[in-house]
Amino acid sequence: MELWAVVITALVSPLFLKLTEFVLNKSSQKERDAAQREKERDEKIKALGLRIDELRDANIKLTITSESQQQTIGRLERESASDKRTITEQSRQIIEQAQQIVELREEIGKRDGRILELENRVNILSSEGER
């Protein structure tokens, strides 16, 4: 019986050691795989965090640019309104000047007529004075 115990112990011990080694190796491999997956996940999270920061910075820049463009648009609209008022005022002045020109031409025509009339009288008077 003791012989059987020794034989069984001799057979079981190496098998038990191999089984234990296999189980421990499997467990160790799973832990390494899990650690690798966790490391990869952490790297992805870090990369996503950096991308989020980049997108936030880009968003801030776009917001600033948009606000600047809105201010420029507002300024241009105000200038355009001012230019329209200026053009309207200039058009009004041109019309007034054209009316003044017409009035002055009429006045010149009247004066030219008066000058001719006076020249005729002078000519008449001088021809009467020569007689």
> Could you read off the pLDDT of 111-122 as tens digits, one per residue?
988 998 988 888
Q: Which has more pLDDT, 43 or 16?
A: 43
| Residue 60 scores a pLDDT above 70 | yes
52 pLDDT higher than 90: yes
Stated pTM of the model: 0.42
CA distances from 26 to 13, 29, 30, 64 (A): 20, 5, 6, 57
Torsion sign, CA atoms 47, 48, 52, 55: positive
Distance from C-alpha of 83 to C-alpha of 86, rounded to nearest angstrom:
5
Highest mean pLDDT: which of 13-22, 65-74, 121-130?
Answer: 65-74
d(CA 129, CA 126): 5
Q: Classify residue 32 by its DSSP letter.
A: H
Nearest one of 88, 61, 121, 96 to 113, comparing CA atoms = 121
Q: What is the mean pLDDT of the chain?
A: 85
Distance of CA 100 to the CA centre of its chain: 50
